[in-house]
Structure 1
Amino acid sequence: MSKLGFRFLDGKIYARNIQRWARAARMAATTDLSLLRRQRSRARLLKMHLDRLIHTADERLALPKVGSTSFPKPHNADWSWRPELWRGSLPTPGLSSVQTKSMLGDEVTLFHDCKFSELTLRQLRNLREEDLAPYGLRLDVFKFDGSFLSLVVDLPDAGVKGLKRSHLVRMDAIVEMEKPLEIFARLNIRHGPNTEQIVRELPLSEENIRVEFDLAYSNMNEKRVERAWIDLIFEGPQMNQVILRDLTFSRRPRAHL
C-alpha cells in the first residue's frame, strides 16, 4: 500500500477512535457500571501516554529552543557565552530555604549572611516569543535579616584564556522585578595573589540592560590571570521577586585610539 494510503487509513482510524471516546464520554452517566469500569481503566492508561506526549511536545516545541546559544553580541567579539542555567534543564530545578554557598547547577552560587533563610531559587521555562534564552532564574526573597545577597556566576576557562587589558567585557541581562531595587554587577579577576574588581550598576530603567567592564582601567596582570567571576549584588531585596530571564556575556578588543 502506498504511503498516501497509509496516511488516509491512519486518519480514518484516528477519527473513529475520537468519535468512540466522545460517545463514551456523553453516555458515561448512564453506562452499565461494569462497562464503565473497563472504560475508565482504558481511559486512564491512554491519558498517561497522552500526558507524557503533550509534556514532551510542549517542551520541545516551545520557544525558544532548548540549548540555544543565540543572542546579540558585538560583531568583533572573540568570546561569547550563556551560562548553562539559562540554556538547558538542570537536574535540580530549584532550592528552598537556600543556605549560603548553595549552587544551582555548576556555575551559579548564592551567597548571603542571613541567620534564617527565607530565600528560594528556581529555574523556570521561558515561553515568551521575545525570549531568546530557553530558561530563566527566579529569586524569591521574603523576610531578609542579612546585610548582603549576591548571585555569583563563574566564567568558563574560554572566557579567561587570552584575557587582556585591551578587552571590554560585556554583560547583557533581561530582568523582571515585583518592585524596584538596585542591582550591581562586579567583575572579579584573580591574577596571582591579587583579585581585580570592577563594579557597575545595572541600568534597570533602560530597555536594554547592559554593562561593560573596560579592563584598560584595571591593574590586571595579563600573564597571571587564573579565573574570573561575576557577582550580581542585590540591594534591599526583602519581600521581592526577581526573575533573570536571560544572562549573557561577551568580550571584544577595544578600538585602538
Structure 2
Amino acid sequence: MVQNMSGDKQSWLDRSLDTGTLRRWTRAARAAGETDLVELRGQRLRARRLKQQLDQLIHVSEARLALPYIGNQSFPRPPDSDWAWRPALWCGPLPTPGVAPAETKSMFGQEVTLFHDCAESELTLRQIRNMREEDLAAFGLRMDVFRFDGSYLSLAIDLPKGASDGLLRKHLIRVETIVEMEHPIEIFARLNIKHGPNTEQIVRELPLNEEEIVVEFDLAYTKLNENRIEKIWLDLIFEGPEMNQVILRDLTFSRRKRAEL
C-alpha cells in the first residue's frame, strides 16, 4: 500500500488498473473517427455511464475541498507575534451545535459562555459551517435575537493558558473578527486579566465600518502584576441586539511586544 502526495491510498493493483483504463479510453477516443458504428455506439453508452460517475465525484470533491479546513489554526497575524490562537468553536464541530432558547450562562463548547439578564430568553445560538471562499475558519457562530427585555448581552471567551504564559505589560493583545449583521449595532470588546485579587479591564469598540475589524489592547496602561496572572478572558458586548441576527464568521487572538521607544 502506498500513499501519494494528495493523501490517496492505492494498492499497486489499483494503480495498474487505473493506468490501464486511462490508456484504453485514450486509444478509443483517438480512434473514434474510424471505429465501427456498432462498436462506437457501445463505447458511447459505457462512456456516458462512466462520465456520470466522474462528474458526480468531481462535483462533490470540489464542493468539499473548497470549504475551510476543519481544525485550521492558520490566519494572518503580525510577523512578530509570540502567541496566536483561534477558539475551538471556530475550528471544529461541537457536540451540541445549537442552543434554543439560550439561557444565561449557557456554555457553547469549552470556551464560550453566554450572559444576559432577560426575564425570558428569546435568543438562539448555533454553530454554522462557513462556506465562503474567503473564510479561513471552518465554522462560525450565529446568534438570533428576537424580543429582548434585558439590559446586557455578552459572550465571554476564555483564553487558554498560553495567552498568559510570559505575558508582560509591554505586550499588545490583538483581536480580529469577521462580523455580519442584519441591522447595524455597536459591539464592544472588553479584555479582562485577573491577577491576584485584582482584575484589569480594557474596553475597545469594534470598528464595524472598517474593512478589517481589529482591536489591540495595550497592557502598558494597566497595573498588571505580571507574576500573578490567573485568568484572561474577552467579553463581546452587544448593544441593542433586539430583532437582529449576528454572525461571527471568525475570531482570532494574537499577542506581540510593543516596539521599544
1:206 to 178, 200, 210: 210
Unmatched 5+ residue regions in structure 1? 23-49
1:101 to 94, 105, 125: 105
- The alignment status of 1:152 with 2:167, answered yes or no, reads no
Please give the alpha-carbon distance, in whole angstroms, between the structure 2 residues aligned to 1:94 and 1:163. Answer: 34
The one-letter amino acid of 1:111's match is F
Match of residue 175 from structure 2? 171
2:73 to 51, 69, 75: 69
Please give the alpha-carbon distance, in whole angstroms, between the structure 2 residues aligned to 1:252 and 1:59. Answer: 37
CA displacement, residues 109-129 of structure 1 (integer Å, 9 cap, x when unaligned): 000000100110011111111
What is the number of equivalent residue pairs in this alignment?
228
- Matched residue of 1:256: which SS? coil
Please give the alpha-carbon distance, in whole angstroms, between the structure 1 residues aligned to 2:178 and 2:253. Answer: 12
Task: Give the stretch that moved more between structures: 86-95 or 234-243.
Answer: 86-95
Tell me how far 1:6 sits from its aligned partner: 5.1
- Matched residue of 1:72: which SS? coil
Unmatched 5+ residue regions in structure 2? 1-12, 26-42
The one-letter amino acid of 1:163's match is L
Tell me how far 1:184 sits from its aligned partner: 0.2
The one-letter amino acid of 2:189's match is A
Match of residue 5 from structure 1? 20
Please give the alpha-carbon distance, in whole angstroms, between the structure 1 residues aligned to 2:24 and 2:226. Answer: 69
- Matched residue of 2:227: which SS? helix
Please give the alpha-carbon distance, in whole angstroms, between the structure 1 residues aligned to 2:194 and 2:101. Answer: 31
1:225 to 221, 229, 236: 229
Please give the alpha-carbon distance, in whole angstroms, between the structure 1 residues aligned to 2:75 and 2:254. Answer: 10
Match of residue 241 from structure 1? 245
Quick check: 1:60–1:66 contact (8 Å CA) kept in 2? Answer: no
Please give the alpha-carbon distance, in whole angstroms, between the structure 2 residues aligned to 1:73 and 1:204. Answer: 19
TM-score by length of structure 1 reads: 0.81
Match of residue 137 from structure 1? 141
Please give the alpha-carbon distance, in whole angstroms, between the structure 2 residues aligned to 1:163 and 1:204. Answer: 28
TM-score by length of structure 2 reads: 0.80
The one-letter amino acid of 1:61's match is L
Tell me how far 1:160 sits from its aligned partner: 1.1
Match of residue 115 from structure 2? 111
CA displacement, residues 74-96 of structure 1 (integer Å, 9 cap, x when unaligned): 11100000000111111111111
Tell me how far 1:62 sits from its aligned partner: 3.2
Identity of aligned pairs, percent? 64
Match of residue 31 from structure 2? none
Please give the alpha-carbon distance, in whole angstroms, between the structure 1 residues aligned to 2:183 and 2:134. Answer: 22
Match of residue 253 from structure 1? 257
Tell me how far 1:240 sits from its aligned partner: 0.3
Please give the alpha-carbon distance, in whole angstroms, between the structure 1 residues aligned to 2:189 and 2:78. Answer: 20
CA displacement, residues 129-155 of structure 1 (integer Å, 9 cap, x when unaligned): 111111111010000010000001000
1:123 to 127, 148, 151: 127
Aligned Cα root-mean-square deviation (Å): 2.8
Please give the alpha-carbon distance, in whole angstroms, between the structure 2 residues aligned to 1:148 and 1:18. Answer: 61
